[in-house]
Each structure stands twice: as structure tokens, then as C-alpha cells.
Amino acid sequence: METFCFMFVSANFLLLFSKYSNATENITLSDSIIDGTNSTLVSKDGKFEFGFFSPGKSSNRYLGIWYKAIPTTVVWVANRRNPISDTSGILMMNSTGNLVLVSGNKSVVWSLNLNKVAQNPIVRLLDSGNLVLRDEKDTNSGNYLWQSFDYPSDTLLPGMKLGWDLKTGLDRRLSAWNNPDDPSPADFTWGIVLNGNPEGYIWKGSVKYYRSAPWNGLGNSGSPSLKENQLYEFSFVDNENEVYYMYNLKNKSVISRIVLNQTGYSRQRYVWNEETRTWKLYSSVPRDACDAYGLCGPYGNCIPTESPVCQCLKGFTPASPENWKSAFWSDGCKRNNLLKCENGEGFVKFVGLKLPDTTHSFVNRSMNLKECRVTCLQNCSCTAYTTLDIRGRGSGCAIWFGDLIDMRLSASGQDLYIRMSASDLEAKVEAKVKIPVIIATTIAIGFGMLIIGYYIRRSRANLREKTENKENDDQEQDEQPEDLELPLFDLIAVSNATNKFSIDNKLGEGGFGPVYKGTLEDGQEIAVKRLSRSSGQGLKEFKNEVILIAKLQHRNLVKLLGCCIQGDEKMLIYEYMPNKSLDNFIFDQMKGKLLDWSKRFNIICGIARGLLYLHQDSRLRIVHRDLKASNILLDQEMNPKISDFGMAKTFGGDQTEGNTNRVVGTYGYMAPEYASDGLFSTKSDVFSFGILLLEIISGKRSRGFYHPSRGLNLIGHAWTLWKEGEPSGLIDPFLEQSCNLSEVIRCIQISLLCVQQHPEERPSMASVVLMLGSEKELPQPQKPGFFKDRGPTEANSSSDKLESNSTNEITFSLEAR
């Protein structure tokens, strides 16, 4: 055992110190911190405190750092592996300036083991939470002989470096506590790996658990939590001296930390809420199943909205089809045609990917993308390449060798060029040639059919009307749901769960009928939609909603648990949403304050992802046709879920639009072409999303809003402010303190793009999701549809009446005769 030379103080001095000392600003050769005396070291601003503590329910004593105002939140522990069983611990300096922790029997529990002797050593706790030892003779205050930031525990604070000092070989990494009572290092760790292109990993033992992906100049590829926000600034340094990740706070008054949590196997970012005196979870990884390292194996692409989530990249098929069908995806995918390193091979661009594991990779910061392609093509082992830094026009070259693993589809992903065989590229070219021929032939046939169809359509119009009327008449018939493929709930069980449909359990009422809260025998909370006999909707809408939503699985769609059809009773059983619907918050003067901008932006992005799933990623192409604030439900964490599919329509094959004589929906949300001509498509949902976006930003209802002096409706008001260069005038006053102004204005621009007059001018939901997740310049919107100007006099005379009625949204249907 190494021998230490201690400078002990007399018992009388220790007694004197314990009697008169509490908090001090520094420790020198003549000072000590003694357990049991309430003596601590406090940072100058009073934010952090350093001393002895016992975690959770444990009686063991540790030396650590915590928030002075939040003493239960410990951010660093010195003797993690060696607790002291009583209060005999003493922290002092020996004659060489080495900081030493000893127990009652004078045995060394922990020390710094400095190689350099300090002439005038002093220990301070900085305002950042960093405990530092330096020589007072060294005039450079940044030269530390030792600092706690170099030896993190489970917490990363602003200004801390996670990563490597290449000169000394120091590897700064986090390790989780074993449990709340035991801060000793667990097997859950987070650090930076010095691959050809360095990136962060979380390990569980020696097994890779999560990978952050390489830094692309703006953030980690595929990590939306690092996008521009009002709280954090992120940086990644990779040079000959250091490789590390760091974050800093834009607002120094904010209290924030990142914690590696062993019990939940997650890395969580927290922000302190002073009003509630609680930590608010700001973000967390893993986010979903697709964040599990290598879930889909080589050349597998994880898509969280798909079922199954693992899909082979185009040009690849499952390496083990049987395992793949059984949801064992680790074997990944294999090429349809093997690479032969011959003339004709090239690359296929895959868009929006979290870049693959960089263990076998190479980077060159001076190459451009064209040079990168040539370099990869000339090396038979090279399988993919991309831009290293995506800022501006992009620069640098990143190249991969061997199999590509741990990819996922992400709104913050980037382009990856994957090497493909000559035969694969020929097939792709052939397909490109065939497409124009097919289109031309289709147009010719379609033109001829159009003439014939015109006459057929006229003769069938009356027949269609009769058919639709017959379907509506049939809604009272007691048809059994043979094709619903859903659990059937017993009427008695549902009645008991809702306390016999008690008025106290009633959550609200829509066009379908009343909705009740219920609790099943196993304790699960449910929401029950009960078809009213007087409802304008009937069995057709009931079956439509059941059949549609039973086949949909997405985190931003409400989950249907089953249905109940007995006698005259027809009910849908949903998961219960404790925060009810979005309109209860954004249009309420009190509840609106609970939704700051970060929550509203999260809701906006969630709705967009849910619509994208309906329009593009689900097994059916679905147009909702009644998207509005009251049909957006909020779960416990205020995550949005789209609900009410009674009006939805499905498209098959390549169909992109339809028309109807029966227009259904809600005033204030419907697209112009749908309201006037019955034409609906995914772009009519995009229009509704744009309206919803304006409502979330402004806190005003689209239906019934008219500007008091200009007489403009909400769309017209937003458009006028945009043209005048004053879009911030639309923002809900509740958001003034919390909003990221550039992000809000970007959302206003997206909303105006969504509500443009003509459907073809509006973006798809895929484009909307990308726009929300990136910083790229957006196109300028054109004049929107339903731009109303009633004139100041008319608006003033009737605005009160309209405002008073605006709380009642009307879902309606119009029959064309």
C-alpha cells in the first residue's frame, strides 16, 4: 500500500473547528472538513455544496457535491467504492498538497494521488459545480492540478467534458449509481469511443446499449434532442489534443443536469422547475425500440412507425427469413446482388438515416462530396460514404468499410450513399425508363376512359346517392362485427367500469355521443365512447372507426382497446387520456399557461408524425377528414394522440384523392376544395393541420375569430401579419417568456404553407415533419384559402356574438342533392 505523509491537526484544533465552522469557501493546508460537524464547502454563488452525506435510506457516509437548495440531488461522489460506516470521516491536505479522506482509524478512504507537489495548494468549489485544486502561486486561474469534472460520477453538468484528453490519456465517462441508496459504479456507462469518426456509446456491461451516432456539425446524426432550442448549446470537439462532447446553458439561471440512470437504463436530461420544486424531464434516450443498438442487424433500417419496425434497405432482403418473421432481426439483411468490385458499380442515396456505426470508418476533412465518392469507389472494401459536416454546403468526407449496422429512419437523419452492384443500378435505371412510358400510356388510356366515364358517371350519380342513403338507413340494424378483429367487451363489464354510465364519469360529448371514464376490474383506466341513438353518426361510422383504428399502431394515435356491441348498445373502448383534449388547454385562459412553447412544439411535432403515419407509413393510406383541437388527446406527459376516425377515408393502391356528395367535418378546419366541391385528399388534412398550428401558436380559435379593427379571420390575420413582416404579433402572450422566437416564426411560416389555396401548393406531411426538424430555408407561402375580410364595421358589430359561440365546434355533414 502506498504510504502517505499526513499533517494531522491536534484534537483541540478539530474540536475548535467543529464548534465554530460551518460553510467555508476553500480548503488550504490548515483547514479540514469533518463529518458530523456540519462543515461544508460552498460555491461563491451558493449554488453547490461539498461535504459528507448519506444517500437515500443508507447509513453509509460519502463525500460529495450536491445542489445546496436541492440537497437530495447529488451530482458527484468522491468515495463511490469505499463508503465510511460512521461519521468519523475527515477530509484534509497532506504536506504535499494532496487532498486525502481518512476514516476514524486513520485509514485512507480516498485521495487525489497527485504527481506534482503544490507549494500553496487551495481547494475551491466553483459556481459550475467543479471542485478544483490549484496552486495559489499559479496566476492562471484555469490551471488546475486536479478537478472533479475530470472524474464524473453519474451526472453531466453544463461545462463538463465527456470524452478524452489525448495528451494524458484521460477518459472522462459517466457510470450510473447501483441504486438510490448506493452510489458505487454500476455496469451502465456512457462515454466517447475513438473510432475513425468518434461517437458516443452507452454500454450495459461490455455490451453496446445505445449509440449517439457521429457529429455532423450541427448535432449527432439522427438525434432530434440536439436540435436548436432555447435552453442548450451543444458542442463537439475533435482535434489532436481532445475529443469530447459538452453542453452549456443559454440562460445561466436555469438549473439542468444529465443523469445516467441504472434503474431505468436511460440517459435523462432534467431541468429544475422552481415553481413546483421538482425536476422536469426534458428529454431521454433511448426514445423507442429503434434506439436499441443494432436491433435490425446489418443493412437493417429501423422505422418506429412501421410494423415490424425493422425493414431491409432497398436492394437487400432478410439474411434469415424465418428469424425475421419471428421478430429476431439481429441477423440483419443481405444484398440481393453481391458486390464484385467491377465497372458499373455505384451508389444509391438513402435519405433521412441515422448514420451507421463508425467502428470501421475513415474521415477526411478536406475532401468534398465528389472526391469522397471517387475515393470510396476506388476501394473495394468501401461500402458507403457521406458528408462529414452538413453545415452550409457541406464539407469533409466520411467513409464506411464492411457491413453497415445500427441505422434508423429519423427526421434529423442525413443522406447516406451506399455502394450497390451494377445489376442493382441497371434495374433502377430500367425502372426510371419504364416509368415515363407507363405514365404516357396511362394518360392516353385515361383520356379515353374519361370521355366514357363522363357519361357513366351521370347515370350512376342517382344510384350512388340511393346507395349512400341506404347505408345511413341501415345504421340502426344490429350487425355483428365479424371483421373487426378486436376484443369484444361485455356490456355488464363496461357498465360496471363506468359506474353504470354515471354523470360523474362523463368526460364530454361529441357527434358520436357521450364519452365516459371507466376503470376495469384489473385497475386499467379506459375511455368509453357510447353511440347515441340520436347521433348523426351511425353504425357505418362506428364500424369505419373500429376497422380503421384496429389496424393502426403509432405513438401519436389513440389506442383502441376493443368494442362492445350488444342489442342497441354500440361502444368503443379506448385508452384513457388523463389530460383530455388539446382545446381544453390552448383556448383556456388558465390552462393555457401550463403549455409553454416547448410543450406546444412537442405537441405540434407529434401531431405531424401521426398524420405522416396515416398518409404514408401505415398499411392503409388514410385521410382523417376531421382533424381539430378537440380530436387531439393528451396523455400523462402531454404527448398528443390523434383520435376520432369515424369520418376517415382510406385510399388504395396509388389513389391520392377522392370526392363525395356527403361532406363531413368541422367549420373552420376544412380545406376550400373539400367544403365547396367535396374533393378530399391528404392535402385536405394538411390544410386542417395548418389551421391547428395557427391555433396552437395564437391561442385563438379559427372558428369565430375576427380581428376587431381589420375584420380578418384567423388565417387572414396571420397572413396579413406575415406580409407586414410582423408574424410575432400572432403569438399567444402566454408564450412570450418561454418561446424560441425563430422556431415559432418558422412554425407560422409552415402553417401558412399548409393553408395555401390550392392543394398542389401545400407540402406533404413528410415535408412538414422535415421542415419542423431542420433549419433549412423554407419557401415563401402564397395567399391562403378562406381568406376572409368582413370589413371593420361588420366585424365589430358581430364579433361579440361570434366569439360567444366559438366554444362550440360543429361537426357537420352536407348531402348533395
Residues designated catalytic: 626
Give me 569's grid cell.
Answer: 348498445
Among 182, 214, 383, residue whose Cα is nearest residue 298: 383
Q: Alpha-carbon dihedral of residues 498, 534, 543, 573, nearest 10 degrees?
A: -10
> What separation in angstroms does the CA of 317 have from each of 153, 293, 346, 353?
44, 20, 19, 18
Using an 8 Å Cβ cutoff, are 705 and 712 in contact?
no
Residue where the block lists cell 397572413:
719
Q: DSSP 3-state assignment of 599?
A: helix
Q: What are phi and psi of 240, to 5 degrees?
A: -70, -15
Using an 8 Å Cβ cutoff, are 685 and 615 in contact?
yes
Q: What is d(CA 770, CA 44) in angstroms, rounded to the nearest whole number?
A: 45
Q: What is d(CA 361, CA 350) in angstroms, rounded to the nearest whole number?
A: 18
Give me 781's grid cell.
Answer: 407561402
> Of all helices (H) and strands (E), which one includes residue 663?
strand 662-666
Contacts of 476 (CB under 8 A, 6+ apart): 538, 539
Query: Distance between alpha carbon 269 and the CA centroid of its chain, in Å?
Result: 13
Using an 8 Å Cβ cutoff, are 699 and 732 in contact?
yes
> What separation in angstroms does the CA of 744 have from each of 443, 604, 781?
43, 11, 16
Among 370, 305, 364, residue whose Cα is nearest residue 612: 305
Terminal CA-CA length for the chain: 97
Cis ω for the linkage preceding 308 (within 30 of 0): yes
Walk across the sheet containing 382-389 and list its strands: 346-353, 414-420, 382-389, 395-401, 361-364
Residue where the block lists cell 412544439:
601
The DSSP annotation for 383-447 comes to: EEEEEEE-STT-EEEEEEES---SEEB-TT-EEEEEEE-HHHHHHHHHHHHHHHHHHHHHHHHHH
Q: What is d(CA 296, CA 302) in angstroms, rounded to the nearest whole number?
A: 6
Q: What is d(CA 765, CA 771) in angstroms, rounded to the nearest whole number?
A: 10
Using an 8 Å Cβ cutoff, are 534 and 471 in contact?
no
Q: What are phi and psi of 160, to 5 degrees?
A: -80, 145
> Of all helices (H) and strands (E), which one includes residue 382?
strand 382-389
> Of all helices (H) and strands (E), which one includes residue 242?
strand 242-249
Bridge partners (DSSP) of residue 506 are 516
Burial class (CB in 10 A: 0-12, 13-18, 19+), 407: buried
At position 24, the amino acid (one-letter code) is T
Using an 8 Å Cβ cutoff, are 74 and 55 in contact?
yes
Using an 8 Å Cβ cutoff, are 602 and 696 in contact?
no
At position 480, the amino acid (one-letter code) is Q
Using an 8 Å Cβ cutoff, are 307 and 314 in contact?
no
Q: What is d(CA 415, CA 214) in angstroms, rounded to the nearest whole number?
A: 13
Using an 8 Å Cβ cutoff, are 577 and 560 in contact?
no
